[in-house]
Chains A and B, each alone.
Chain A
């Protein structure tokens, strides 16, 4: 409540130049939105993810975080696998059965794809940290390379398994 009062004390003309009369609106939020819609009807409110058009750079950056979390989730299963191997043979045989089922194999494929992407994009990040490939055209080139290589390396690992 205090904040709203402070803002209403200020001359609203400061925020929207050229606007002479402003009706007092009960909350700061609706007042702010009203001002914005009067000034520029489709103007973004704040620079946030939903506002930007997806670009290769930003999408790959978000992928890096998502695949990091996916890899972590998968590593919990590696942990359970190790624990069953060390302490609980019946649990291991249950996991063995589950792991060879088709849905789990498909999940495993996508998990490996996420991990390989995180690894390769991580190398891209390490390159940037070393000051290499940080020009805009290079960033796009390495980004496309990482996508291609992730799919290629993942397929390679799985093809060697099947053969």
Chain B
């Protein structure tokens, strides 16, 4: 089994390509909105930031952002890892760690937003 066969065996390249572009589309408006909001809210008091995230519209947009962004990051990091780590077993190991970290980050983000929005 050669290098490229082994890399793409688990996930077809076409679906990776499409997923990367679809998540990018979603992220264009969302990341502009979030960046603007963050820069304007940075250093805000706890209560102000809390009620901002607790706003239902903001919470929904934030959840979509966190999911799309960590998914997009997972796909992007995968390409970089495949390109720059030539040792195939090391590559697969680091790939697994990076994927796991992205899923955990996504989960932690969504749970945090839900906790704030639902006042749990």
Chain A interface residues toward B at CB < 8 A: 65, 68-69, 71-72, 75-76, 78-79, 82-83, 85-87, 89, 92-93, 96, 99-100, 105, 108, 112, 115-116, 119, 122-123, 125-126, 129, 157-158, 160-161
User: Nearest-CB distance from B29 to chain A (Å)?
Assistant: 10
Q: Chain B at the A interface: mostly helix, strand, loop or mixed?
A: helix
**Bound form: Cα–Cα A158–B24 in Å:** 24
**B9 contacts chain A at the CB level, 8 A cutoff:** no
**Bound form: Cα–Cα A87–B112 in Å:** 8
Q: Which residues of B contact A125 (CB under 8 A)?
A: 24
Q: Which residues of A contact B96 (CB under 8 A)?
A: none
Q: What are 10 of the A-B contact pairs (CB < 8 Å)?
A: A75-B105, A79-B108, A82-B62, A85-B49, A85-B53, A112-B35, A116-B35, A129-B21, A157-B39, A160-B40
Q: Which residues of A contact B36 (CB under 8 A)?
A: 157
User: Nearest-CB distance from A77 to chain B (Å)?
Assistant: 10
**Chain A residue at minimum C-beta to C-beta distance from B45:** A96
**Bound form: Cα–Cα A96–B49 in Å:** 10
Question: A-facing mask of B65-94, CB < 8 A → 1, else 0?
Answer: 010011001001100100000000000000
User: Nearest-CB distance from A127 to chain B (Å)?
Assistant: 11
Is B50 a contact of A85 with CB atoms below 8 Å?
Answer: yes
Count of interface residues, chain B, beta-carbon cutoff 8 Å? 37
**B38 contacts chain A at the CB level, 8 A cutoff:** yes
Q: Which residues of B contact A99 (CB under 8 A)?
A: 42-43
If A72-B76, A76-B105, A119-B28 touch, does A82 touch B35 (CB 8 Å cutoff)?
Answer: no
